[in-house]
Amino acid sequence: MVRIKERYLLVNIVYPPDPSKPAESSLPSHVVHHQPTTDKLTYQSLLKAIKTEVALLFGDYGSGSLDASLSIKYLSLATSTFIIRCPRAHYRMLWAALTFLHHVPIAHGSGRPCIFRVVRVSGTMRKAEEEAIRRAKRLIIAAQEEASCATSTLTDAHVLQEPLPTDITDESSDESMGEGDG
C-alpha cells in the first residue's frame, strides 16, 4: 500500500505600512509588518479565498487537483501565521495562488491589504510547527532588540551632549596586569 504524499506550507501574513497613515515611530518595524490578523478571518473564509484564487489562476485543472485535499491545519491570528496541507505534486500551484492573494479574506467585503509569504515547505506537520515556533521567538527577540536600540540611541544622544574629558592618562602598568587580563 502506498501512502499519499503531502506538503505542509507555513505561511506568514505580512502587512505593508499604509501610506495614507503617518508612520508611528514608537513601534518597531518588525511589529508594524507582523501585526495580528483580524478576528473576522476564519478557516473557512481563508480556504474559500485560496480555492477561488486557484480556480482563477489554473481553471478546472487547478480546482480538481487541489480542491479535495486542501486543508488548513493551523491558524494563529496573533502571529498572522497558518499551515496549509496540499498534495506533494501540486504545492507549487498552491504557492502561486497564495502569492496572488492581496487582501485578508473576511466574510463580508475585502479585508486589509496584505502579502501572503510562504516561509517553509515541509513534508511533515511537526517540522512546519517547529519552524513556526522558531520564527515567532525570533520575531519577539528582534522586536525587543529594535526597541532597546531605539531607547539606547536616545540615551547615547544624551550622553554625547555631556562634555568629554580632555586629559586621559593611563595610570596602569603592564606589570600589574595578570595573565587573564589580556
Q: What is the pLDDT of residues 73-93, one digit of tens each?
A: 999 888 889 999 999 999 999
The per-residue pLDDT for 117 is 93
- Mean pLDDT along residues 14-36: 67
Question: Which H, E and C letters describe the chain, residue by residue?
Answer: CCCCCEEEEEEEEECCCCCCCCCCCCCCHHHHHCCCCCCCCCHHHHHHHHHHHHHHHHHHHHHHHHCCCCEEEEEECCCCEEEEEEEHHHHHHHHHHHHHCCEEECCCCEEEECEEEEEEEECCHHHHHHHHHHHHHHHHHHHHHHHHHHHHHHHHHHHHHCCCCCCCCCCCCHHHCCHHHC
The rounded distance, in Å, linking the Cα atoms of 104 and 37 is 8
Confidence of residue 29 (pLDDT cuts 50, 70, 90): low
The confidence score (pLDDT) of residue 171 equals: 46
Q: What are the domain boundaries of the chain?
A: 6-18+27-152
In CATH, what class is 6-18+27-152?
alpha beta
pLDDT at 166 over 90: no
The CA-atom distances, in angstroms, between 122 and each of 86, 99, 105, 142, 156 are 11, 18, 25, 25, 45
pLDDT at position 59:
94
pLDDT of residue 37: 78
Between residues 173 and 18, the one the model is more confident about: 18
Q: Provide the pLDDT confidence category of residue 33 given band limits of 50, 70 and 90.
A: low
Whether residue 163 has pLDDT greater than 50: no
Q: What is the pLDDT of residue 103?
A: 86
